[in-house]
Structure formats: C-alpha cells, structure tokens
Chain A
Amino acid sequence: MKCKKCGGKASVNMRQHKLALCKEHYLDWVPEQTERFIKKYEMFTRDEKILVAVSGGKDSLALWDILHRLGYHADGLYLGLGIDGGIGYSHESQRLTEKFAHERDLKLHIVDIETEYGQPIPVLSEISHRGHGKPCAVCGLAKRHEMNRIARDLGYDVLATGHNLDDEAAVLFGNTLSWSSEYLLRQGPVLPASDGLARKVKPLCRFYEREMTAYSLVRGIEYIYEECPFAEGSQSIYYKELLNQLETARPGAKLTFYLRFLEARKRGDLFIEKDLERAHLRSCPKCGQPTSTGDLCSFCRMIEKATSAQAA
C-alpha cells in the first residue's frame, strides 16, 4: 500500500477515510486534524491555559505531545491512584509520565490521592463499599473530582483528556443499550465551563484508538502498555472489541455511529432539552462541584464515610 501524499510505502491505513500514509506524513496529518477538531468544536484558543490529564497511557501522552507540537500552553496533571495490582501499575505509569515531561521540559503537576485523602483508591473503595468489589467506580469518581478541583484551584481555563473515538463510541454504545438519556445528553467533545469549573474537552475524540497507538509508536512515545489491572474484563473493553468486529466488516461504522449521534444531539433530536437536564444539577455545599443530589456530592459523601470509618 502506498502513501497517498508521496507514493512511498504506507505505514498506517485508515480505511474509514480511505487514506494510507507513510510515517512522515502521518506525523503531519495527526496534529493537523487535531487542530481542525479543536477549532470545529471551539475547544480552546491559543491564549487559554490548558491542563492535560495524563495517565502514562498512549492517548493522554499523545495528546500532550500533539498540543505541545501545535504550540499550545498545555501543562500536565498526573493523579497518583495507588494501584499496584502486582505490576506496580501506578508507580510505572507515574515514572513514564515524569520521563515524558522531563524529556520535553513540560510542566507536570502530580497529586497523590493517598497523600490528599489518607488512602489509595483500592482502600477508599473497600471502606466506602462502592463499586461491587471493584475500585473502578471510586476511581472514576475521584479522578473527575480531582481533575475539576485542580484545574479550578490552579486557574486553568480548560481541562483536556485523551479520550479517543473508541472510548466515546464504547460509552455511547453502553448508554444506548440502556437508554441512559441523562448520560447521552452530556456526552460530547466539549463540556462547557460551569460554576467555576474549567471547560472539559476531548481533542482526540475523532481519532480511532488504533490511530493513537500508531502515533505513539511512530513518535517513539514510551507509554504504559499494560492497562490498569482492575480494567481487565471490563464492559467498556468488551464493547470496544464488539465495535471493532463491526468496524472490520464495515469500515467507518464507529465514526458514523459517533458523528451521527453528535449531529442528532446538536439538532436537539435526543429526548429532552439540554437546559432542562442541567436544571437538575446543584452545587455541593462542601466542594462546590455540580451534583444532582441536592446535598453533598458523591465524592464528598464517600470521603466523609471513609473518614468516619477510619476514626471508628
């Protein structure tokens, strides 16, 4: 297969775009497309301060690399979750993130959950009895809360995450299977700023996971290949594999699924008006972040419970 731009040997083939590229042109194409998505979805401008949530995985490190190459003011945030799983998972992912930042002279903030809240994620999960024996629910909750808090406290305008199209399509697929209208209405490339919280954006939301892996390999980005030990056998991975079977038979199926959803959402074709949905959210009296409970948000309730369990 030949590169569409130069006729040389192609290294990446994107069947959904009918586009094959050599390594050199692929490395040009990815930032160009990212810039296009940033502008199309009005994610941020060159004057704004961006905080990139980095996990040591391929997507978030690739995102940070791309934004840096594009000349944006983007600093990193690494959350130490305290997950070992017999492979020193958190330790290794932090090491790789620090190495990445050091090699490019980028600013990295590191926040350790155990230092901040007294316990690592797996223990917080056990104490709070959330998540049916797995810490994933507590981990997601804590990550969202801490990313919001730190972006706000440090004065960042935008919080950027490395979610790719496969992540988005898998979430969309799961929420469609269960017709979770509230979640469907919230999903998109941009979550606007509200109540002092930074805007959240996903600049990689139109790249396939395969493309981000290829980008990391070609760029020589050293990332943690092993997934979190608790993610093994998870529903989101199962959905991604199902969608990849569909994609293999019908190139472009994942992209169409996601883009048609965004179009329907923009037209207001999905269930109820956005404003009505947002009207249900209130501010947590403790941390100020949005919650639908009318009292403390889920995170603050979990920490209160964990703190009282420890004191008892």
Chain B
Amino acid sequence: MVKLILRDKEYEVKPGMTLLSALQKISVVPESVIATREGEMILEDEILKDGDVVKLIAVISGGAGIDTRTSNTELRGICHEM
C-alpha cells in the first residue's frame, strides 16, 4: 500500500496509480498541496509504488487542502492583511 500524510491525517491507496489519481481518490485538491517522498518533491504524473510514504504539504497557510465540495467548511471571520 501507499501511505499519504496530510497534517494529522493519514490515507492509504493502492500502489500503481499516479499521484494525481491518489489525490483525487482521497479528495485532496492537487493545487492545494505539494507532495514529497523521502524529502524530494514529486509531480502529479509520478507512479506511486508499494511502501511509498508521501508527505503532503498544505500550501494554503492554515488550509486543510480538502475538496470543499465534499466537506462541511464553516464560514467564519475574515483575516485581513495589509
């Protein structure tokens, strides 16, 4: 199996699929994360192998990287900068 880690959540997908397919499978928006394997960035066409551990780094500060169409994100205050 392939393990994907995003913040405090862990997901497992079958090996042999691309990173893009894996992200779609676990409802993570590809644009919202950067994937690393053994400390190296990997791209969406990378085929994931059995035993791979992929760390997903959320690019939106404070963002969960999840697909909001399938989550219950609640709208709260806005944080203005500058």
By the criterion CB–CB under 8 Å, are A244 and B43 in contact? no
By the criterion CB–CB under 8 Å, are B81 and A163 in contact? yes
By the criterion CB–CB under 8 Å, are A245 and B81 in contact? no
By the criterion CB–CB under 8 Å, are A200 and B63 in contact? no
Q: Closest approach, in angstroms, between the C-beta of B3 and any C-beta of chain A?
A: 19
Say whether A91 faces chain B, with CB atoms less than 8 Å apart: no
By the criterion CB–CB under 8 Å, are B77 and A241 in contact? no
Say whether A161 faces chain B, with CB atoms less than 8 Å apart: yes
* A-B interface, 6 closest residue pairs, ranked by CB to CB distance from nearest: A227-B62, A140-B80, A244-B31, A235-B78, A227-B61, A134-B77
By the criterion CB–CB under 8 Å, are A228 and B59 in contact? no
By the criterion CB–CB under 8 Å, are A240 and B63 in contact? yes
With A200-B82, A233-B74, A238-B75 known to touch, is A228 a contact of B62 (CB < 8 Å)? Answer: yes
Say whether B69 faces chain A, with CB atoms less than 8 Å apart: yes
Choice from A147, A242, A248 contacting B82 with Cβ under 8 Å: A147
Q: 1/0 per position for B66-82, CB-CB distance to A under 8 A?
A: 11110001111111111
Q: Closest approach, in angstroms, between the C-beta of B35 and any C-beta of chain A?
A: 11
Q: Closest approach, in angstroms, between the C-beta of A159 and any C-beta of chain B?
A: 9
Chain B residue numbers with a CB within 8 Å of A23 are 41
A to B contact number (C-beta, < 8 Å):
124
With A210-B34, A240-B60, A241-B32 known to touch, is A137 a contact of B73 (CB < 8 Å)? Answer: no
Interface size class of A (residues with CB under 8 A): 35 or more
| B interface residues (Cβ-Cβ under 8 A, vs A) | 29-32, 34, 36, 40-41, 43-45, 57, 59-69, 73-82
Choice from A209, A233, A242, A248 contacting B76 with Cβ under 8 Å: A233
Interface of B is mostly: loop
By the criterion CB–CB under 8 Å, are A57 and B82 in contact? no
By the criterion CB–CB under 8 Å, are B82 and A143 in contact? yes
By the criterion CB–CB under 8 Å, are A167 and B81 in contact? yes
| A interface residues (Cβ-Cβ under 8 A, vs B) | 1, 10-13, 20, 23, 53, 57-58, 131-134, 136-137, 139-140, 143-144, 147, 161, 163, 166-167, 174, 200, 209-210, 212-214, 217-218, 225-228, 230-238, 240-242, 244-245, 247-248
By the criterion CB–CB under 8 Å, are B43 and A237 in contact? no
Chain B residue numbers with a CB within 8 Å of A134 are 76-77
By the criterion CB–CB under 8 Å, are A241 and B81 in contact? no
A sample of 12 cross-chain residue pairs with beta-carbon separation below 8 angstroms, ordered by A number, consists of: A143-B82, A163-B81, A210-B32, A213-B59, A217-B41, A231-B62, A233-B76, A235-B76, A237-B62, A241-B63, A244-B29, A244-B32
Chain B residue numbers with a CB within 8 Å of A227 are 61-63
By the criterion CB–CB under 8 Å, are A244 and B78 in contact? no
Most chain A CB within 10 A, of B40, B60, B67, is at B60
Q: Report the separation of the CA atoms of residues A13 and B45 in the bound assembly, to the nearest whole angstrom.
A: 10
By the criterion CB–CB under 8 Å, are A137 and B62 in contact? no
Q: Report the separation of the CA atoms of residues A227 and B29 in the bound assembly, to the nearest whole angstrom.
A: 19
Q: Report the separation of the CA atoms of residues A211 and B18 in the bound assembly, to the nearest whole angstrom.
A: 21
Q: Closest approach, in angstroms, between the C-beta of B26 and any C-beta of chain A?
A: 14
Choice from A10, A214, A225, A247 contacting B31 with Cβ under 8 Å: A247
Q: Report the separation of the CA atoms of residues A10 and B81 in the bound assembly, to the nearest whole angstrom.
A: 34
By the criterion CB–CB under 8 Å, are A20 and B43 in contact? yes
